[in-house]
């Protein structure tokens, strides 16, 4: 018959190591997401600047009446492209803020967990010290 006293738990140090590894993995994943979002934003900003420059030259040509109907359609396409870039940049900004909020929540949660673990360890150590007397 198995004794109820045979039940053992893992050491608090091992639990802390497991938690730290888990939070580290999540932290790295959030950093990777943030970097991907920022890279996409940079690329879209660069395209936006290029399209803006093309649109500016086209507007200047239109003002000089040196533009055909095809160029007018091209201007409409450039305008739509600029609007799409701005919408995407805005969406990526929201994503960046969301990921930053998750990262902040993770940091707070991990810090609170460490504090609780330290308090528990201190209480256990104090209890062990009292039992020895």
Indicate the domain borders of the chain.
28-113
Q: Which of 81, 75, 25 is nearest to 48 (CA)?
A: 81
Q: Taking the alpha carbons of 100, 103, 109, 114 in that order, is the dihedral positive or negative?
A: negative
pLDDT at position 132 is: 60
pTM of the model: 0.72
Q: What is the pLDDT confidence band of residue 125, given thresholds at 50, 70 and 90?
A: low
Rounded CA separation 115/84 (Å): 47
Residues 91 and 50: beta-carbon distance below 8 Å: no
pLDDT at position 80 is: 92
Q: Note the Cα 130 to chain centre separation in Å.
A: 47
Q: How high does pLDDT run on average in the chain?
A: 85
- Which CATH architecture is the domain 28-113 placed in? Up-down Bundle (1.20)
pLDDT at position 21 is: 95
Rounded CA separation 66/58 (Å): 9
**Residue 130 C-beta-side C-alpha neighbours within 13 Å:** 6
Rounded CA separation 17/117 (Å): 11
Percent of the chain beyond pLDDT 70? 80
Rounded CA separation 78/83 (Å): 9
pLDDT of 47 strictly over 90: yes
């Amino acid at each position: 018959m198995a004794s109820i006293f045979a039940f053992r738990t893992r050491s608090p140090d091992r639990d802390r190591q497991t938690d730290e590894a888990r939070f580290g993995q999540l932290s790295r994943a959030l950093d990777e997401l943030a970097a991907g979002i920022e890279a996409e934003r940079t690329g879209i900003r660069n395209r936006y600047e290029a399209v803006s420059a093309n649109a500016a030259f086209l507007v200047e040509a239109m003002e000089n009446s040196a533009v055909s109907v095809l160029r007018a359609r091209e201007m409409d396409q450039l305008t739509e492209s600029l609007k799409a870039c701005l919408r995407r940049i805005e969406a990526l900004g929201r994503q960046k803020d969301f990921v930053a909020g998750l990262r902040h929540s993770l940091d707070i949660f991990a810090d609170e967990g460490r504090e609780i673990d330290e308090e528990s360890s201190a209480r256990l150590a104090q209890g062990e010290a009292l039992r020895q007397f």
